[in-house]
Amino acid sequence: MESFPLALIASFTNDALIVGGLSLGFLILSLGVHEAAHAFVAWRCGDSTARDLGRMTLDPLPHIDPFMTVLLPAILWFGSGGAMMFGGAKPVPVDYNRLRKPARDMMLVALAGPISNFLLAIVFFLVFKLLVFKAGFAGQDIAALVMYRSMQWNCLLAAFNMIPIPPLDGSRVMSYLLPRPLRESYNRLEHLGMLLVLGLMFTGLLRFMYLPVMDALTNWANFLTGGFWA
């Protein structure tokens, strides 16, 4: 499987602000889908907490956290001159004790978010290819750029969230896979998890943890949407 040419979105045009704004809008919608997926799987596994709180919805507004979704990304973006951005949605509440098989079900709830983002990446990639290869759009047209950028954002969300550092989704999977004697000690890292994530991000080491996965997901999305179209 080949990587899709990133050169298609490498350069900005005079419409960069429009592309950025629309891509950000789709990113916020994608965060909503991610959290709704967590809530839906938790409900199916026996815990209706998130559903009862109105979090099992595709409406992104209930999933927005003023600090994590708006303020922190803005501070990092403008403070780094556009070189760094980090944030997230409001976490979906899950009552561990209400799940039918708590350890297993927490893993399933966690996996639902990244899987939803990968599925969205496939949809955005398919629309991008339809626009470019069937509808006659150029790769640098606004609509095509927005679809490709949105595909990349969703691959990034899926890859980043699967890093096994609490409280990221990957840590729930790792917790389930660890032997029971190690599980409790590992879960206690959650109190320091966000500091670890930020520390790795500022040192530049975090990108080596998610970029290979992001590239692999992009290749898979390309493959599952038919590869390169004639």
Contact status, residue 219 vs residue 2, Cβ threshold 8 Å: yes
Residue with tokens 């080491």: 205
Active site members = 35
Extract the tokens encoding 45: 């596994």
- Say how far apart CA 36 and CA 50 lie, in whole Å: 9
Q: Based on C-alpha coordinates, what's the Rg of the chain?
A: 18
Residue 128: name the closest of 144, 142, 151, 146 by CA.
144
Please report which residue ranges of 53-101 form alpha helices under DSSP H.
72-79
Task: Give residue for tokens 């699967």.
Answer: 162
